[in-house]
Structure 1
Amino acid sequence: MSPGWLFLLVLLIAAAGYVLGRSRALSATGGSLRTMHSLPGAYGWNVAMAVLIPSLLILAVWTLVAPAVLGRLVTPMMAGQEGNLSLLMSDVRRVADGLLLLGEDPASITTEGLRDRLAEAGVALGQDVSNATLAAAARYDVLGAWSHWLLTILVLSVALGAAALAVRRTTPTLRARNEVERGIRGLLIAAALVAIATTVGIVLALIFNTIKFFQIYPASEFFFGTTWTPSFGGGSELGILPLVWGTLYISTIALFVAVPLGLLSAVYLSEYASSRVRAWAKPMLEVLAGIPSIVYGLFALLTVGPALMLVFGDGGLGWMQGGTAVITAGLVMGIMLIPFVSSLSDDIINAVPQAMRDGSLGLGATRSETIRQVVLPAALPGIMGAVLLAASRAIGETMIVVLGAGAAARLSLNPFEAMTTITAKIVSQLTGDQDFSSPEALVAFALAMSLFVVTLCLNIVALWIVRRYREQYE
């Protein structure tokens, strides 16, 4: 049974347990709620949670761990095969997925004629797929079938056993409400731990692969090299400085566009706009935040780039050789960041007490003087935090850079030239089937780790500024 159907079956057992638990509590008291410790629904939820928590936990862990275990069991069959082991195992899993389309008994599958049967089922196999790979895939399919059966038996046994035990424990004196509350608290803690564990897993994956990269490529050449010319045939120069420069250059232009426009729009919406204007202007401005970055990238490629070429290209000033340039990506990225700066700044400005405005106006200051000398200084820490968070968003942008700035890694002050960023090169280095034992592929993890450290530092600085200079009002 597939995990999806098994999940639905567990939900049905939990629903039946809820009904049985609630009915047993009511029948034991003759329908009188006064002699029950908890409400009837709590008894039902106590049974349902007793079914769901262990069953779904086993299902999740098994689904995550089973592919790795099956891979280890099949790996010895690939001994002596040429090529990277991870790529070979990828072929094994792909062929094993194709075997499921045949609908045959896994135990009866042999390598004889298997290639032809897979081709008839619509599974295309390359000539490099050896008979050993086919045999390993057949073995993988057999083990996968056994894994599904064992998982089904284990999960259903646990679900039915937990339901029977919980229904048997259901009595009017059972503190069902307390047990349900403890279960919910445990689920909330587990959700928080999943988020923390995910972050830790990402960081550890970056660290281990970055260490592996620096074991085969000098760290000094990576951090201080001024040339980026990866070559999978050997002789690569992987200096990060051109990528860092392109990232900072494009992000700086984006902030020069986003910060003034976003801050001025926030001041207008919070201090000058009527409630009627604000009701439609603020949602329209925040629509920009919901547009996918790929759409902004297409806008840069098809609209902004050609428009800049009319002014700065060969038909105008002659400064620009193509539509893909730093200025193109910076302008479009700045437009994308306007809602981040505007929305956060608007909320921060509105948090300034009205009494401060009234006091300034009462002393004879104009509205503009009140905004400049009272409101903005009071909101400045929060505004700085919003700007730094927008900078972190700009540094991590990819699609606008790929489509709007080009792919050239260079150190130049000319904003009308094509450049690239760290994120764009991470994508290009990991595109296609790569050998993760080569520095040209592993460099993507070093780039990602460098970008992670930079954005983490910016977020820490933003939080420190907000907490250090935040004003507390009564």
Structure 2
Amino acid sequence: MPLIWILAILALLGGVAYWLARRRAMSSGGGDARVLHSLPNYYGVHGALLALAPALLILALWLLTQPMLLYRSVAADIPLLTISAFGTVDLVMSDVRRVAEGLDVAVGAGLLTSQQMTSAGPTEIEAALDEIGVALGSQLTPPVLDAARDYRGADAVLRWGMIAVVVAAALIGGAIAVYRTDRDFRARNIVERSILVLLAAAATVAILTTLGIVLSMLFETMNFFSQYPAHEFFFGTTWSPSFSGRGGLSELGIIPLLWGTLYISLIALLVAVPIGLFAAIYLSEYAGPKLRSFAKPLIEVLAGIPTIVYGLFALITVGPMLRDVIAQPLGLGNSASSVMTAGLVMGIMLIPFVSSLSDDIINAVPQAMRDGSLGLGSTQSETIRRVVIPAALPGIVGAILLAASRAIGETMIVVLGAGAAARLDLNPFEAMTTVTVKIVSQLTGDTDFASPETLVAFALGLTLFVITLGLNVLALYIVRTYREQYE
């Protein structure tokens, strides 16, 4: 049974529990809601919560643990000879899962009957899988086919068991809620505490997710530094990974990648900050209501364009134009992929970040400050330059630093616009690369997570995380320390 059906059944049971609990509460009060401790809806919500909360918790835990149980139960029965032929048990189980899923699709498509699925040999099964487009890592063998059938059978048993347990939990919870409901039951208190727990759980999930991301990168980074010297990583000026000899020939210095990252980000900010700030000043101080209502959403459309589209724009339009108009005539380069290409296009992408944040910050400056400046004889431009901008400056600086964090973490524009060459060069018309691009390249393809060439991606990611976190903290510090408080 699909998961959406299970959720639909739980929603139906929750609705029934809501109706029954509310009805019982009204009956216990003789039909008069004024004699009840809580409003009738609180009794209904209590019934729905008690029916849904335990069931959903069991469902989530079951979905998390079921793959591990399946893996262990099926992998334990796979012959050692088959595992040695594949290399690792993970590779065997990858084929087992693909075959099991393919059997379900083949039966659903009518390519196999239930009898053929249980009795057909590897050749017939592989022909059916080929017809529905299931690609296996190697030729299908009897042990893998038997394991796939066991996997499919165990998965079906566990899934029906999950449905039974979850539905039973919903029924029991709803029954308990209805049984406890009477006119003196403090339903409102329980519902409000439950909502408080739900809000706290949501905040906890966000915190734990961040902590999990950091710890996962940290542990893999420590594993990397146990195989590769830290001083060579942080101070090396050559990036040349080699996938032969498990890292013996690799040079994994981060300096060229950091240089490319900061160089491209600097050009992007030189484009985005003046244009975005001037646009914000014009929209907030000079533009009329009609023009502002039209122009501001139009600028913000830039923020909604996918970065891959910006990358294609850099690759097809901006890069060749810069090469033909500037780089080649001046003898600065012959490549359409360059730091300038990626920086210009990234700057265009960052304009709405700077513009929208700065516009909101400038509009937050009280009108009384403008009126006082104008009343003392200042012109509008002098008021903006000497009153409005200084008052809004901390917020503007924070917006710029947040845009810088966005630029440092960009990938697709750099891949298509700046190339993949890791080098130290001052020429903005030469191809360079960034930390994010190399993270993607090191984790793409057939990777060995025991080699430093793959583990270096986690060290790069942690370094980038620390840099962007520092920029965000600096932005918050500036805003909170120097912001003006207005009554």
TM-score normalised per structure 2? 0.92
Alpha-carbon contact 2:312-2:416 (below 8 Å) kept:
yes
Task: Write the distance in 1 (CA, Å) between the matches of 2:327 and 2:405.
Answer: 31
Which aligned pairs between 1:81-120 and structure 2 lie closer than 5 A? 81=84, 82-103=86-107, 113-120=121-128
Task: Write the distance in 1 (CA, Å) between the matches of 2:35 and 2:373.
Answer: 64
Cα distance, 1:155 vs. partner? 0.6
Task: Write the distance in 2 (CA, Å) between the matches of 1:433 and 1:93.
Answer: 19
Paired residue secondary structure (2:38): coil
> Kindly tell me: are residues 424 and 84 of structure 1, through their superposed partners in 2, closer, same or farther at Cα, counting changes over 3 Å?
farther
Which residue in the other structure is 1:357 paired with? 370
Paired residue secondary structure (1:216): coil
Which aligned pairs between 1:295-334 and structure 2 lie closer than 5 A? 295-314=309-328, 316-334=329-347
Alpha-carbon contact 1:111-1:135 (below 8 Å) kept:
no
Cα distance, 1:98 vs. partner? 1.9
Deviations 1:125-148, CA, capped at 9 Å, x for gaps: 243665544443333323322221
* Alignment match of 1:181 (pick from 172, 183, 192): 192
Which residue in the other structure is 1:222 paired with? 233
Which aligned pairs between 1:423-434 and structure 2 lie closer than 5 A? 423-434=436-447
Which residue in the other structure is 2:383 paired with? 370
Task: Write the distance in 2 (CA, Å) between the matches of 1:217 and 1:65.
Answer: 35
Deviations 1:197-253, CA, capped at 9 Å, x for gaps: 111111111111111111222222211121112222232221111111110000000
Q: Does 1:412 align with 2:425?
A: yes
Task: Write the distance in 2 (CA, Å) between the matches of 1:431 and 1:305.
Answer: 25
Match for 2:103: what amino acid? L
Alpha-carbon contact 1:254-1:331 (below 8 Å) kept:
yes
Which of 225-234 and 415-424 deviates more? Answer: 225-234
Which residue in the other structure is 2:250 paired with? 236
Which residue in the other structure is 2:69 paired with? 69
Which aligned pairs between 1:82-231 and structure 2 lie closer than 5 A? 82-103=86-107, 113-121=121-129, 122=132, 123-127=134-138, 131-231=142-242
Alpha-carbon contact 1:396-1:423 (below 8 Å) kept:
yes
5+ residue gaps, structure 2, are: none
> Kindly tell me: are residues 78 and 398 of structure 1, through their superposed partners in 2, closer, same or farther at Cα, counting changes over 3 Å?
farther
Match for 1:429: what amino acid? Q
Task: Write the distance in 1 (CA, Å) between the matches of 2:240 and 2:140.
Answer: 32
Task: Write the distance in 2 (CA, Å) between the matches of 1:99 and 1:39.
Answer: 53
Paired residue secondary structure (1:34): helix
Deviations 1:363-382, CA, capped at 9 Å, x for gaps: 22221111111111111111
Task: Write the distance in 2 (CA, Å) between the matches of 1:179 and 1:373.
Answer: 56
Task: Write the distance in 1 (CA, Å) between the matches of 2:3 and 2:12.
Answer: 14
Cα distance, 1:459 vs. partner? 0.6
Cα distance, 1:405 vs. partner? 0.6
Cα distance, 1:109 vs. partner? 6.5
> Kindly tell me: are residues 220 and 91 of structure 1, through their superposed partners in 2, closer, same or farther at Cα, counting changes over 3 Å?
farther
> Kindly tell me: are residues 142 and 337 of structure 1, through their superposed partners in 2, closer, same or farther at Cα, counting changes over 3 Å?
same
Task: Write the distance in 1 (CA, Å) between the matches of 2:409 and 2:18.
Answer: 47
Task: Write the distance in 2 (CA, Å) between the matches of 1:86 and 1:106.
Answer: 28
Deviations 1:372-429, CA, capped at 9 Å, x for gaps: 1111111111111111000000000011001111111111111001111111111111
Cα distance, 1:350 vs. partner? 1.1
Identity %: 61
> Kindly tell me: are residues 135 and 244 of structure 1, through their superposed partners in 2, closer, same or farther at Cα, counting changes over 3 Å?
farther
5+ residue gaps, structure 1, are: none
Cα distance, 1:344 vs. partner? 0.7
Which of 151-160 and 317-326 deviates more? Answer: 317-326
* Alignment match of 1:254 (pick from 260, 268, 274): 268
Q: Does 1:13 align with 2:13?
A: yes
* Alignment match of 1:346 (pick from 344, 351, 359): 359
Match for 1:373: what amino acid? R
Task: Write the distance in 2 (CA, Å) between the matches of 1:432 and 1:129.
Answer: 23
Task: Write the distance in 1 (CA, Å) between the matches of 2:419 and 2:145.
Answer: 42
Alpha-carbon contact 1:410-1:419 (below 8 Å) kept:
yes
Task: Write the distance in 2 (CA, Å) between the matches of 1:78 and 1:422.
Answer: 43
> Kindly tell me: are residues 87 and 412 of structure 1, through their superposed partners in 2, closer, same or farther at Cα, counting changes over 3 Å?
farther
Cα distance, 1:114 vs. partner? 3.4
Task: Write the distance in 1 (CA, Å) between the matches of 2:442 and 2:119.
Answer: 36
> Kindly tell me: are residues 108 and 171 of structure 1, through their superposed partners in 2, closer, same or farther at Cα, counting changes over 3 Å?
farther
Alpha-carbon contact 1:106-1:141 (below 8 Å) kept:
no
> Kindly tell me: are residues 345 and 165 of structure 1, through their superposed partners in 2, closer, same or farther at Cα, counting changes over 3 Å?
same
